[in-house]
Amino acid sequence: MKETTIYGDEEGFHLTVRPSFGGDGFELTVWRRNHGTAGFTVFGREKAERLAAFLYEELLPEYNHQERQQKIEVQKIMNELAARPKPKPVRVAKNAPKIDVLICPECSELIPLEDVSDERVYECGECGTSGAGDDARRCDQCNKFTAKVSETSCPECGGAMDDAEKAQAQRATDKTTLVQVEG
């Protein structure tokens, strides 16, 4: 069972035609840099060679063009990312007081205890839609009554806060950003 390389070279794209393992036809395999990417059996060596020639001569130029275009697009994105200014690290004063906060399970925001909303969170048992406040007592999607899932909600995303994890944080020097205290 001798393998015959029909088109290409070892460094790039090439096709091979060889007798199939079952002996009932010829296996046509498409290779890219010594890695087979597809193999299928074609009945008749002449048909397999015509198919290999078509793939190599007609479809390969289009494939290579698309691959080059993709590399250009990726390079553009990489250049844009490299040109973006680096964000300044958040600074915390050494003597900044520690504040008790809750970590929202939905959006992961640090919420001071006094900022947690007293609005209840409701969830529809039919479609799963959830919302906060008295307007959420009836589902907007299916017009069914909803069930209460939490007594408090996140002021940022409206998620349920009853099971939120407690942590400690410090205010950054910009007075608005909270930074979680490790340990």
Residue of higher predicted confidence among 132 and 46: 132
Residue 137 has pLDDT above 50, yes or no: yes
What does pLDDT average to over the chain?
A: 79
The pLDDT score that the predictor gives to residue 152 is: 87
Dihedral class, residue 110 (left if φ above 0, else alpha if ψ from -120 to 50, else beta): beta
Torsion angles phi and psi, residue 48, rounded to 5: -65, -40
Confirm if 169 and 180 have CB atoms less than 8 A apart: yes
Encoded tokens for 182: 């490790």
Higher pLDDT among residues 40 and 129, named by residue: 129
- What is the band of 120 on the pLDDT scale with cuts at 50, 70, 90? confident
Q: What is the pLDDT of residues 36-45, one digit of tens each?
A: 555 666 666 6
Which contacts of 63-68 are long-range, i.e. CB under 8 A and separated by 24 or more positions?
A: 63/13, 64/13
pTM comes to: 0.48
Give me the pLDDT at residue 1, please. Answer: 41
Whose tokens are 């806060």? That residue is: 161
pLDDT in tens, 57-98: 777 777 778 888 999 999 999 999 999 988 888 888 888 888
Q: Assess whether pLDDT exceeds 60 at residue 5.
A: no
The residue-averaged pLDDT of 167-179 equals: 84
* pLDDT attached to residue 46: 74
Phi and psi angles of residue 32, each rounded to the nearest 5 degrees, phi first = -135, 110
14 vs 58, higher pLDDT: 58
